[in-house]
C-alpha cells in the first residue's frame, strides 16, 4: 500500500510570515474575555440562531464541478463531501472513503464508508462516486478536470468499492480527489439545487445576497454544533466591514491588513491570522498588444516594488512574492526571488519597445479589491493604468473567455502542491486531458508542458520537486504571470466563536462552536 511520501506535500506552515501584532489578541486568550454584543454592535446570536458569515463576493455556480473559485469552494464545501479530505493542517484524512490501497502502481482502490446518505435520503454507492469523478473529468464545462488529468478510468468493483486507474503511479491523486465533490449519479447536467452528503443542507437563498444552510440530521458524523448558518455576499469591502461593526455578521474573511488592528480593538471582535496558500498576481495577456512584447511585460515587472505593495495592500500582513506558489507549497523554489524594483530599467525597456511616453491600459480587478498602490507604482514609469472594478459574476465569464488582457487577481494552491497552478493555469489549454482549464491568457510553452507532464508521473519526491521548480523558473522568465504578494489570511471573528483558521482558507461551519463560557 502506498501513501503520500512527503509530509511537506500536504502540510502547511502553522505560523504566519507577517510580523506579529501585539495589539491583536490571540484566539485562545480571547475566549476568556468573551463579551456580549450590545449597543452599537447589535444583539448576540444565541446558539440556536444562524451564524452569519460575510464573504468577499458570491459563488459563481452551485454546481461543484463547474467552478474552480475560492469563495464557491468555501460555500459548497459545507454541502458536499469528497472521498478523502484535508484537515485544518492540510493532512489527508478519510471522508467518504474509509480506506484506500494501490493493488498495482497505476490502480487505486477505495472502500466507501457505510451509512452515508445524501440529503434526499438516498444511500451513497460506488456508482455515485464513479459518476461524480467521470462527470468532473469529462463534463464539457468542468473547471476541475485538471485535478483529474492523471485519471484514465474509474469503475465500481462492487457497491462499496471503487477503483481509479491512472497514468503511472499518480502520487498526488489523494490530494486532487480532496477537491472533487461527490454528487448523486443522476445529477443533472447543470446542478442548481445542490444535493450532497455534507453536514449542511441548502436553505433559502437570495441570489447575489445570501445563502442559508441548516444542519443535516442524517449526517454520518452526527449533527454539527452550529445548526444554522448564513453566508452573506459583498462586492464592496466597505459594506462588509460596516455590517460586521453593526453586529450583522459574526465572521468575515479577507480582512484588509490596514483595517485589522482597528477591528481587533473592538470589544467583541478579534483578528485571527493564518498563513495560507493564497497570493496576489497580475496576468499580462501575451497575445494582446502591448503585452505581446516581452520587453513590455518585463517593464511592468521591474516597475513594481513588492515590499511596498505588501505594506500598502496588506497592511504588512504578508510578504513580497517571487513565484506563483508560497513557501509551504510543495514545488516552491527557494531560488526564485521577488524581482527587484528598478523604475529606470523599466522606462528603458519601454523606450526600447517603442513606448517612450508610456501607454494607457485598463487593469481589471474584482470589485472590492483595491488596486491603487499598483496603479501608482506603474504610473511612475509611464504606464497609466486605470483600475476597472467589476462584480465577480461579470468578470469571471470574461476571464474564462480570455477577454481580459491585464488583470489583478488572486490564486490559491489549495491542495498544497504547485501542480494546482501548473496544471490549471500554466499548461497549454487541452480540454481532452483536462489541462489548462483556468489558463485565462492562453499561455503556451512546450517545455513547461513537458515538465508539468513529467512531474505528474514522477514517483520519487525529489525528482518531482525538481521538475516543478524547473517549470516555475520557465514561467517566471515568460513574465506572463507576475506574482506580487503572499498573503496571511485574516479573519475578524466574534470572540465567543470557537474556531481557528485553516491553512487552506476554507470556512468549514462544522468545525465551529459557540463558547459556553460566561
424-467 pLDDT per residue, tens:
999 999 988 888 989 999 999 999 999 999 998 887 889 999 99
DSSP code, position 440: T
What's the pLDDT score for residue 502? 92
Residues 6+ apart with CB under 8 A from 126: 112, 156, 157, 158, 159, 160, 161, 162
- Give the separation between CA 158 and CA 111, rounded to whole angstroms: 10
- Separation of alpha carbons 69 and 75, rounded Å: 10
**How many Cβ atoms from other residues are within 10 Å of residue 73's Cβ?**
22
Q: Which residues, other chains included, contact 408 with Cβ-Cβ below 8 Å and sequence gap of 6+? A: 280, 281, 282, 363, 364, 365, 369, 371, 374, 387, 484
- Residues 6+ positions from 39 with CB-CB distance below 8 Å: none
pLDDT value for 48: 57
Q: Beta partners for 13? A: none
Hunting for cell 506603474 — which residue is that?
378
Q: Which of 275, 235, 229 is nearest to 497 (CA)?
A: 229
Q: Give CA 248 to chain center in angstroms.
A: 26
Burial of 165 (0-12, 13-18, 19+ CB in 10 A): middle
Which residue is it, cell 515538465? Answer: 451
Residue 411: which of 276, 250, 234 has the closest Cα? 276
- Provide the pLDDT for residue 23: 35
pLDDT of residue 461: 86
Q: Which residues of the chain have pLDDT under 50?
A: 1-45, 47, 518
Average of per-residue pLDDT values in the chain: 88
| Predicted local confidence at residue 325, as pLDDT | 94
pTM comes to 0.71
- Phi, psi torsion values for 320, nearest 5 degrees: -60, 145
Interatomic CA distance for residues 46 and 497, integer angstroms: 11
Question: C-alpha distances in angstroms, 148 versus 87, 135, 432?
Answer: 21, 11, 11
Backbone angles phi, psi at 454, to 5 degrees: -65, -40
Length of the chain: 518
Amino acid at each position: 500500500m502506498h501513501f503520500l511520501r512527503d509530509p511537506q506535500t500536504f502540510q502547511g506552515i502553522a505560523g504566519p510570515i507577517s510580523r506579529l501584532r501585539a495589539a491583536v489578541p490571540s484566539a485562545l486568550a480571547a475566549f476568556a474575555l468573551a463579551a456580549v454584543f450590545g449597543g452599537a454592535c447589535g444583539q448576540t446570536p444565541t446558539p440556536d440562531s444562524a451564524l452569519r458569515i460575510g464573504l468577499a463576493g458570491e459563488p459563481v455556480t452551485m454546481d461543484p464541478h463547474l467552478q474552480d473559485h475560492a469563495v464557491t469552494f468555501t460555500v459548497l464545501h459545507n454541502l458536499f463531501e469528497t472521498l478523502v479530505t484535508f484537515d485544518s493542517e492540510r493532512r489527508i484524512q478519510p471522508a467518504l472513503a474509509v480506506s484506500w490501497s494501490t493493488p498495482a502502481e497505476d490502480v487505486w482502490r477505495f472502500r466507501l464508508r457505510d451509512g452515508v446518505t445524501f440529503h434526499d435520503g438516498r444511500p451513497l454507492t460506488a456508482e455515485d462516486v464513479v459518476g461524480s469523478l467521470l462527470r468532473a473529468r469529462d463534463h464539457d464545462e468542468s473547471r476541475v478536470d485538471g485535478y483529474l488529468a492523471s485519471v484514465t478510468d474509474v469503475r465500481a468493483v462492487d457497491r462499496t468499492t471503487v477503483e481509479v486507474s491512472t497514468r503511472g503511479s499518480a502520487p498526488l491523486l489523494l490530494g486532487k480527489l480532496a477537491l472533487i465533490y461527490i454528487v448523486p449519479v443522476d445529477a443533472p447536467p447543470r446542478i442548481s439545487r445542490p444535493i450532497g452528503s455534507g453536514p449542511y443542507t441548502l436553505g433559502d437563498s437570495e441570489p447575489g445576497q445570501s445563502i442559508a444552510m441548516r444542519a443535516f440530521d442524517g449526517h454520518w458524523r452526527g449533527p454539527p454544533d452550529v445548526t444554522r448558518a448564513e453566508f452573506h455576499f459583498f462586492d464592496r469591502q466597505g459594506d462588509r466591514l460596516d455590517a460586521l461593526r453593526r453586529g450583522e455578521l459574526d465572521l468575515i474573511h479577507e480582512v484588509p491588513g490596514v483595517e485589522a488592528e482597528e477591528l481587533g480593538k473592538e470589544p467583541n471582535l478579534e483578528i485571527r491570522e493564518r498563513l495560507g496558500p493564497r497570493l496576489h498576481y497580475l496576468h499580462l495577456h501575451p497575445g494582446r498588444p502591448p503585452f505581446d512584447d516581452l520587453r513590455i511585460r518585463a517593464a511592468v515587472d521591474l516597475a513594481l516594488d513588492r515590499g511596498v505593495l505588501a505594506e500598502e495592500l496588506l497592511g504588512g500582513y504578508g510578504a513580497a512574492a517571487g513565484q506563483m506558489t508560497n513557501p509551504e507549497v510543495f514545488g516552491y523554489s527557494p531560488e526564485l526571488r521577488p524581482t527587484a524594483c528598478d523604475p529606470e530599467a523599466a522606462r528603458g525597456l519601454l523606450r526600447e519597445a517603442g513606448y517612450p511616453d508610456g501607454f494607457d491600459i485598463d487593469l481589471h480587478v474584482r470589485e472590492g479589491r483595491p488596486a491603487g498602490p499598483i496603479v501608482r507604482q506603474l504610473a511612475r514609469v509611464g504606464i497609466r493604468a486605470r483600475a476597472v472594478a467589476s462584480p465577480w459574476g461579470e468578470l469571471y465569464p470574461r476571464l474564462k473567455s480570455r477577454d481580459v488582457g491585464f488583470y489583478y487577481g488572486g490564486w490559491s494552491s489549495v491542495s498544497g502542491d504547485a501542480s494546482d497552478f501548473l496544471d490549471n493555469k500554466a499548461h497549454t489549454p487541452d480540454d481532452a486531458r483536462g489541462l489548462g482549464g483556468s489558463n485565462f491568457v492562453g499561455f503556451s510553452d512546450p517545455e513547461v508542458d513537458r515538465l508539468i507532464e513529467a512531474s505528474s508521473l514522477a514517483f520519487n519526491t525529489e525528482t518531482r520537486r525538481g521538475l516543478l521548480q524547473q517549470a516555475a523558473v520557465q514561467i517566471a522568465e515568460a513574465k506572463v504571470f507576475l506574482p506580487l504578494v503572499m498573503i496571511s489570511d485574516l479573519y475578524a471573528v466574534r470572540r465567543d466563536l470557537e474556531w481557528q483558521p485553516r491553512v487552506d482558507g476554507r470556512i468549514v461551519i462544522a468545525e465551529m462552536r459557540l463558547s459556553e463560557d460566561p
